[in-house]
Amino acid sequence: MEGLVREMQDTEHGGVPVRSQKLFLTSIPAAFMGYDLIEWLMERLGIEESEALNIANQLCQYGYFFPISDSKNLVVKDDSSLYRFQSPYYWPWQNRPPDNVEYAIYLAKRTLRNKQRHGLEEYELETLSNLKKNLANKWDFIMMQAEEQVKLSKVLKKADKLISDSQERAYWRVHRPPPGMVSSLEPCPVPNRSWNGCRIRKRTIEDVRREVELLKKSLSKTRMKVSQALDSLTHHVEVYTEYDPLITPTQPSNPWVTEDLTYWQLNSPL
């Protein structure tokens, strides 16, 4: 993916044409049109329009470029709609997924800027309120970082500031999508041993001895016939069917599987 995007950005060697675009007497810097992107993909990969549109949409959903006029829907259209390349700093595989502290700094920074241009939406205000409660012990640090970033942004030129703001907002649109929107980079809901830096404990001599004792005891145990084991397993499944979410759907339904947001709404205070 990233190799293909780098070729797109290489305008000196036949990449996607990026230039200032005019839209209702407004000059939009560092932008390209949807049909230029689709034509480039068709020519570069030797594919049809539908395939090029599918690839473009996938690249957009992973955050390699984004629509300028629509900050919610990451969709590429084969028309004169304007798009902008994401900074390589924000590419998904350049950095680890962001944490809540970084998101809190971003939201707090927007509250310190022009409310007309950088004002928070309703779901962002609610998220900021929850983060303020959950990160109360770090809030002074978060506000200090936000104020520092606002000061640094004032040094940039107007065009550079506009591009930087749009790229940062698009980055958080991918990693913290609005309610009801799906992100291609959503983390797996099942935790693993690597979370929170937990390391797997090395086995000691005592652990090995305990395992040897367990195996010795298992050798002397009587074994059930396969038919009896199957009957026992069948009976167990029948007894616990109503508690098995794979057989009996949970209430409310699993939001990782369906589009129902009831579970998130019930647990939003957490």
The DSSP secondary structure of 27-82, one letter per residue, reads: EEEEEEEHHHHHHHHHHHHT--HHHHHHHHHHHHHTTSEEESS-SS-----SSS-E
Residue of 96 and 227 predicted with greater confidence: 227
Confidence of residue 24 (pLDDT cuts 50, 70, 90): confident
pLDDT attached to residue 191: 56
Strand-by-strand arrangement of the 82-85 sheet: 19-23, 26-33, 82-85, 65-67
Q: Please, what is the average pLDDT of the chain?
A: 85
Query: What is the mean predicted confidence (pLDDT) over 95-108?
Result: 87
Pick the range with the lowest mean pLDDT from 114-123, 192-201, 241-250, 257-266: 192-201
For residue 68, pLDDT over 60 is answered with: yes
Confidence of residue 213 (pLDDT cuts 50, 70, 90): very high
For residue 40, pLDDT over 90 is answered with: yes
Confidence of residue 21 (pLDDT cuts 50, 70, 90): confident
Tell me the CA distances in angstroms from 21 to 75, 82, 83, 84, 141, one per residue in order: 19, 8, 10, 11, 40
pLDDT tens-digit readout, 150-188: 998 888 888 888 898 899 998 998 888 888 777 777 655
pLDDT attached to residue 57: 92
Residue of 245 and 9 predicted with greater confidence: 9
pLDDT attached to residue 107: 92
d(CA 166, CA 2): 20
Confidence of residue 251 (pLDDT cuts 50, 70, 90): confident
Q: Is the pTM of this model over 0.85?
A: no
Torsion of Cα atoms, 148 then 154 then 159 then 165, to 10°: 30
For residue 231, pLDDT over 80 is answered with: yes
Query: What is the mean predicted confidence (pLDDT) over 245-258?
Result: 80
